[in-house]
Amino acid sequence: MEAYERLIRYIGIDTVSDEESETTPSTPCQFDLSRALEREMREMGLQDVYLDDHAYVYGKIPATAGLENAAKIGFIAHLDTVTTGKNGPAQYRMVPDYDGGPVALGDSGLTLDPATFPHLKNMVGETLITTDGTMVLGADDKAGIAEILTMCEHLLQSDRPHGPISVCFTPDEEIGHGAALLDLERFGAELAYTADGSAVGEIEYETFNAASAKWEIEGVSVHPGSAKDVMINAARVATEIDHLLPANERPRDTEGYQGFYHLTDLAGDVSHAKVQYIIRDHDSARFEERKEIMRGVEKTINARYGAQVAKVTITDQYRNMRQVIEEHPEVVEAARAAIRGVGLEPVSNPIRGGTDGAQLSFRGLPCPNLGTGGYSFHGPYEHISAQQMDKAVRVLEGIVDWFAKR
C-alpha cells in the first residue's frame, strides 16, 4: 500500500485532542485510530505489538541475521490532530497532476494559491491532497504514521538488511503530552526520530523552550450606575494583561530564534475571565525571563485592583532538545545522509514549536524530527503531496540503511 493511501484511511478517523481534558488520551476517539493501527501492525507482521491503556501503540521488527547488535532505531508519530472550529473525519480532495495554479478548497471560498504558498511551484505534476477548506486535513501527523508503516511494510516484504526497529504512535502531542507516558523500556530503542515535520529534507533538532500560562481573573460585578471605585470588570482586566506584555513579541512579529508570548484563548464577562498564553523561546535564559515578566504582570494587576483579582499558573511543557542531540551526532549524521540519498540537501532550521522528541530527548532518547512532506498545518490550507510522502518513506529507509552499514 502506498503511503498516501494509508493517510487517506487515517484522516477518515477523527482524533482531535482536548487541552482541557485531564485524561490520557485526552479524547476517547484517539483509541479508534490506535486500535486500527494495532490491527494493521499485527496483520503486517510486526512483532510485540501492544496497545496500552493510554492509546500508545508499540511494535517491533527484529534485526535481520547478523545485525542483531546494530543500533536499535525507533520511529515515532502522533495520533491526534488539533482542535478547530469544525472537528470530525477530515474532508479531503485529490488533485492529480497538479498544474501549478490556484486550487479551490471545496465550496469554502478558500483557495490554495501559489502566490501565497510559493512552494507549490515545486509540486507541479504531483498529486496534491488538500482539505475542503472547512477543517484541518490531519496530515499532522497521520502522514508520519503512514510513512513509518509504509517503511515497515517495505522492510518486512524484502530482504533488505537492517538492525532492530521499534515504532510507537502516541496520543496528545498537540497538547504537549505526547511523550509523557511513552514506555521507553517497552519501546526499546537507543535513538529515535519523530516523523512530524513539514518539507521532506528537514532534520530538526532545535525546539523552543515552552510553557503555558493560564490566568484566572475574579471581577466585581455591580450595577454600572453605581460602579464608581467598586466594579472590577474581569473581561477588561484580561485585555489589560495583554497590553502589559511586550507589544512586539507576538508570533506575528517574530521569526527565527525570536521568542514570543501568544494569546491563545480569552473568555469571560464582568464577574470572571480566563486567559491562556503560551510562552516560547529558544534561549533558556531568555525563556526564564519571559516567565518572570508574566509573573510581573500578575503583580502589577493585583497592585492595581487587589491581591485576589488575578492569578497566573505557569507550567513548563518542553525544553530545547539541541543540547541533548549535540551529544549524539550520529543521529543527525544518519538523517542528513538519507536526505542526500533522495537528492535533497538537508535543512536544519530552529523549530518554532516542539515535538515529542523534545521531551524524549531529555528522558534519555535522542530524537530529532523529520519532514513528512506536508505544509500549512493547523489550518484549512493544510496540504501534502503523494510523491513527497514517497520521498519521506525513502528517507526513513535510508536512515535504516545507514545504521545497518555502520
pLDDT in tens, 358-379: 889 999 999 999 999 999 999 9
Backbone angles phi, psi at 77, to 5 degrees: -145, 165
Determine the Cα–Cα distance for residues 301 and 395; give it in Å rounded to an integer: 52
Q: Which of 51-60, 270-279, 342-351, 390-399 has the lowest mean pLDDT?
A: 342-351
| pLDDT of the residue at 351 | 83
* pLDDT of 354 above 80: no
Distance CA 317, CA 287 (A): 12
Mean pLDDT, residues 342-367: 90
Cβ-contact 360, 322 below 8 angstroms = no
In the residue annotation, 22 being an active-site residue is answered as no
The pLDDT > 90 percentage for the chain reads 90
pLDDT level of residue 355 (50, 70, 90 thresholds): confident
Please tell me the distance from the alpha carbon of residue 215 to that of residue 265, in angstroms, as a whole number: 10
Q: What is the pLDDT of residue 127?
A: 98
pLDDT-based confidence at residue 254 (cuts at 50, 70, 90): very high
pLDDT at 350: 87
Give me the pLDDT at residue 88, please: 84
pLDDT score, position 123:
96
Q: Select which of 173, 196, 204, 382 is catalytic.
A: 173
Instruction: Tell me the pTM.
Output: 0.84
Res 403 pLDDT > 80: yes
- Residue 207 backbone dihedrals phi, psi, to 5 degrees: -115, 170
103/101 Cα distance (integer angstroms):
6
Q: Report the DSSP beta bridge partners of residue 195.
A: 370
* Residue pair 402/338 in contact by the 8 Å Cβ criterion: yes
CA distances from 176 to 19, 88, 266, 385 (A): 9, 21, 20, 27
Do 194 and 76 meet the contact criterion of CB atoms below 8 Å apart? Answer: yes
Catalytic residue status for 173: yes
Yes or no: say if 374 and 144 are a contact pair by the CB < 8 Å rule: no
- Mark out the alpha helices in 214-277 (DSSP H runs): 234-244
Q: How far apart are CA 204 and CA 332, in angstroms?
A: 9
Residue of 18, 38, 40, 80 marked active site: 80
Weakest-pLDDT range from 49-53, 137-141, 304-308? 304-308
Mean pLDDT of 40-67: 98
How far is 41 from 23, CA to CA, in rounded Å? Answer: 26
What CA–CA distance (Å, rounded) separates 296 from 291? 9
pLDDT in tens, 191-246: 999 999 999 999 999 989 999 999 999 999 999 999 999 999 999 999 999 999 99
Given a contact cutoff of 8 angstroms between Cβ atoms, the answer to whether 149 and 40 are in contact is yes
**How does residue 145 score in pLDDT terms, banded at 50, 70 and 90?**
very high
Q: Is the pLDDT of residue 317 over 90?
A: no
DSSP 227: -
Q: What's the average model confidence in pLDDT over 276-286?
A: 96
Q: What confidence tier does 84 reach under pLDDT thresholds 50, 70, 90?
A: confident
pLDDT band at residue 179 using 50, 70 and 90 as cut-offs: confident
The rounded distance, in Å, linking the Cα atoms of 246 and 260 is 9
Higher pLDDT, 88 or 314: 314
Lowest mean pLDDT among 235-239, 286-290, 349-353, 399-403: 349-353
Contact 382, 110 (CB under 8 A): no
